[in-house]
Amino acid sequence: RRSRDLVELNELAATDPAMEAEVEREYRRVLADFERERTALLFAGEYDDRNALLTISAGAGGTEATDWAEMLLRMYLRWAERRRFKTEVLDEMPGEEAGLKSVTVAVDGVHAYGLLRAERGVHRLVRISPYDAQNRRHTTFAQVEVLPEVEQDVEVEVDPDELRIDTFRATGAGGQHVNKTDSAVRITHLPTGITAQSQNERSQMQNRETAMKILRARLLERAVREREAELARIRGAHVEAGWGNQIRSYVLHPYQMVKDHRTNVETSDTNGVLDGDI
């Protein structure tokens, strides 16, 4: 509706020059609102506002593949630099002759993960290899993985209202007091059904503390498993860095073209793309 009103204002301004300033102001307001809504739609994912961990792994192809991995690293570092994102190489494994077998980079910036997650997949390079004495054309691949940064420590919060605490008489060896009073404790976490119990301490309070410690450990283990499963879901199914799996091709010979196979968008400005204009 606002866009239709803007069109009508513009038509009126054609006959009334005094309205031109009002049309300009309204145009800028509509454009700003559009950009806000567009950003909200683009980064609507659960983790899109987080920092990112970018990993590049060379595919099969020896030195040509490791060199391609290093070229991709430079491309993403230049991309981050253009956006004034902070980057830090966390881990790298050099190739046997040149390049990198793998490298992991932390990318810190607004919507870093949301911006980079579309880069996840296989990237293909076609060029005359500088490592081939016969100057033959080679095709090589690299795998790019993008994950959102997550908290290092998984905290377990236990709501006392979600616990059922049962006491019972301890069994087995343990002395007169342990065996003749309801000192043993079983704690059940009702939302998950996870239980923990202790009966070896002399007092009910001690057994309760021990059972609670065990319960927290089991809840922590469950939280870690869930986090690992969530990361596996985000990472997606593993695909080989090879033919038929590429999301983007970078052709440097016999012509120059970068093509995204998901959208069919292509450009002949290969130098610009490899310099971070992605």
Provide DSSP, 40-89: HHHT-STTTTS-EEEEEEE-SSTHHHHHHHHHHHHHHHHHHHHTT-EEEE
Interatomic CA distance for residues 245 and 91, integer angstroms: 25
Interatomic CA distance for residues 263 and 81, integer angstroms: 26
More confident site: 213 or 260: 260
Question: In the beta sheet, which residues pair with residue 137?
Answer: 128
Fold assignment, 160-230: Double Stranded RNA Binding Domain (3.30.160)
Fold assignment, 52-149+245-274: Alpha-Beta Plaits (3.30.70)
Calculate the alpha carbon distances from 266 to 116, 244, 254, 256, 270 in Å. 18, 18, 16, 10, 10
If you average pLDDT over residues 142-153, what whole number do you get? 80
The phi-psi region of residue 84 (left if phi > 0; otherwise alpha if psi is between -120 and 50; otherwise beta) is left
* Structure confidence at residue 21 (pLDDT): 74
Calculate the alpha carbon distances from 86 to 47, 81, 245, 253 in Å. 18, 8, 30, 33
Per-residue pLDDT for 176 more than 70? no
If you average pLDDT over residues 42-69, what whole number do you get? 87
Per-residue pLDDT for 142 more than 70? yes
Question: In the beta sheet, which residues pair with residue 56?
Answer: 103, 144
Whether residue 69 contacts residue 57, with contact meaning beta carbons closer than 8 Å, is answered with yes
**pLDDT tens digits along 250-264:** 999 899 999 999 999
Give the lowest-confidence range in 151-155, 192-196, 204-208, 217-221: 151-155
Per-residue pLDDT for 65 more than 70? yes
Per-residue pLDDT for 5 more than 80? no
Burial of 161 (0-12, 13-18, 19+ CB in 10 A): exposed
Report residue 55 as tokens: 């990993």
Which amino acid appears at position 26 of this protein? E
**pLDDT tens digits along 263-275:** 999 999 999 999 9
* Structure confidence at residue 23 (pLDDT): 67
Whether residue 141 contacts residue 123, with contact meaning beta carbons closer than 8 Å, is answered with yes
* Structure confidence at residue 193 (pLDDT): 93
Give the lowest-confidence range in 9-23, 137-151, 226-240: 9-23
Per-residue pLDDT for 215 more than 70? yes
* Structure confidence at residue 28 (pLDDT): 74
Share of residues in the chain with pLDDT > 70 (%): 80
Report residue 157 as tokens: 């919060």
